[in-house]
Chains A and B, each alone.
Chain A
Amino acid sequence: MKEPDVIEGMEVVYRKPQTLTATPMHYCPGCSHGVVHKILMEVVDEMGIQDKTVGVAPVGCSVFAYDYMNVDMQEAAHGRASAVATGIRRVLPDTYVFAYQGDGDLAAIGTGETVHTVNRGENILMVFINNGIYGMTGGQMAPTSLLGMKTSTSPYGREAAVNGYPLRITELLAQLPGAYYVTRQSVHTTAAVRKCKKAIEASFRYQTEKRGTCFIEVVANCPSGWKMTPNEANDWLEKNMFPYYPIGDIKAPKQ
C-alpha cells in the first residue's frame, strides 16, 4: 500500500484503508460498488478483524471483488454466494463471513438460496447491491427494475402486466424468523455513506452473538446502465428509487 505524502504541519485525517488492495477498481466512474467495497473494508480495518473475515464474491459487475478486498475471499457461482457463505461460516464458526451480491444475482437467479439462507438464520452478513438493473451484462431488466424504467430488455419501460412488479425482496426476507437485522441504506451522499457504514459495523458485531442473518440492502446507482452521469444517477436514485425502496431499518434487534 502506497504511503501518503507527508505534508509539513498537516496530519492525515482520511486515507484508503489497508484492507483494500492497491489494485485499481474496474468499475465505471461514480459506481456505488466502489463506495460499498470501501466502507465494508474500513469496518474490517477499524474492528481489527482482517484475518478473521471471509467474503464471498458474486457474478455481476462485482465479480472481481476478491481482487480489491484484502481479506480471504471465495468466488461463488451466479446467485449462490449466500449458500457458499453458509458453508464457510458453518465450518469456521468464529469467522466473520459476508456475501456481497447484486440484484440480478441475489434476487433473480439466486432467489432460492437467498430465501433459504435467511430462513435458516445463518450467522452471516448479506450485502445486497440494488441498482435496479443487470449492470455487467449490458443493462437488462432486473426483478428490481422500477415500473416504467427503460432497460435494454424493456426499451419502452417495465410494464406490470408483462413483467410483474419490482421485487421488494428485503421486506420479504424481513418476515422470516431467521432474519435478525434487516436494513436498507444508500451511499449517494456523505451522510448516507456514514449511516451505511454504521449498519455494516452493527452487522459484524451481531455476528458474534449468533442470533441470525444480517441483511443490508444498498440502494445503488448504475450510471452506465441508467445512461446518466454519476451525479444525475444519484439524483435519479433519490427521486425514483427511494419512494419504492424507502431507506431505514426494516427489522432491528431490540436493544
Chain B
Amino acid sequence: MIRGTIVVDTQICKGCELCITACPQDCLELSPGLNQKGYRYAQLKNDTCTGCVNCAIVCPDCAITVYRQAKKPRSVAVTA
C-alpha cells in the first residue's frame, strides 16, 4: 500500500469539512482546539493516508499540502 501524509496550514484552514467528506480513507477529523480565526481545523486521525490528494483538490483555501512515499526513499528538495 502506498503511504502518504498531509500537512494542514492550521491558521488558513476554516474547518469547512469538505476535505473530510472527500477523503476515501476516512483519515481526517476536526481538531478539538481552535485556530486564531476561531475555527476548528482539519487534522489526521490515523495513519491510513495514501497521499491520494482528494482532500487537497476540494479544499477552497489551499490549506493542504500532500506528500507521498518517494520512489526511492530519500529526502526530496522541493521545487516550485
By a beta-carbon cutoff of 8 Å, the part of chain A in contact with chain B is 1, 3-18, 20, 24-25, 27-35, 38, 187-190, 193-194, 223, 229-231, 234
Contacts and interface: CB of A to CB of B under 8 A. Distances in A.
A24 B37 CA distance: 11
Given A8-B75, A193-B58, 19 more contacts: A6-B77, A11-B68, A11-B69, A11-B70, A12-B65, A13-B51, A14-B64, A18-B80, A24-B12, A24-B61, A25-B61, A27-B60, A30-B17, A187-B58, A190-B54, A190-B57, A229-B17, A230-B17, A231-B18
A10 B71 CA distance: 9
Contact of B76 (A6, A25, A33): A6
Contact of B16 (A14, A30, A38, A194): A30
Given A9-B73, A9-B74, A24-B61, A231 B17 contact: yes
22 contacts: A5-B7, A5-B65, A6-B77, A10-B4, A10-B67, A10-B69, A12-B76, A13-B51, A13-B68, A15-B78, A18-B80, A29-B14, A29-B16, A29-B39, A29-B60, A30-B17, A34-B59, A34-B61, A35-B58, A35-B59, A231-B21, A234-B18
Grouping DSSP codes into helix (H, G, I), strand (E, B) and loop, the A interface class, with mixed when no group exceeds half, is loop
A28 B39 CA distance: 11
B28 interface: no
Given A4-B65, A230-B16, A234-B18, A194 B57 contact: yes
A223 B54 CA distance: 21
A14 B66 contact: yes
Given A38-B62, A190-B58, A10 B80 contact: no
